[in-house]
Amino acid sequence: MAAVLIIVAVVVILLVVVIGAVIGMYNSLVKLNIKTDESWSGISVQLKRRADLIPNLVETVKGYAAHESGVFEKVTEARSAIMSATHPAEAA
């Protein structure tokens, strides 16, 4: 009778250990799943932020291109004036 009780106790202890291990693994998997979802959410937020910043960048580049165009025109005019000058006083 004592041998049967020892076997039953060992089986119960093994079942408790196995169930505890399964619960621990399940909790770890749930934690990893939540962490993965949070990471994808962060990626989604950064992609949206980048997409929202592109129009601002385009407007900045357009404004700079307009300014740069004016500068190039002035430089070209100045160069043409110097090249067409016949006297040093005209070049200044």
- Is residue 30 domain-resident? yes
Query: pTM of the entire structure?
Result: 0.54
- Is residue 24 domain-resident? yes
- Is residue 12 domain-resident? no
The conformation of residue 86, written as its DSSP 8-state character, comes to S
- Is residue 1 domain-resident? no
- Is residue 82 domain-resident? yes
- Domain range for 61: 18-91
- Is residue 46 domain-resident? yes
Single out the residue of 73, 92, 69 nearest to residue 81, CA to CA.
92
What is the per-residue pLDDT for 89?
66
- Is residue 13 domain-resident? no
What is the per-residue pLDDT for 77?
83
Positive or negative: CA dihedral 52, 57, 63, 69: negative
What is the per-residue pLDDT for 41?
97
What is the per-residue pLDDT for 14?
98
pLDDT means per 10 residues, the chain with 92 residues, are 92 98 98 98 95 89 79 82 73 57
Name the domain count of the chain: 1
- Is residue 9 domain-resident? no
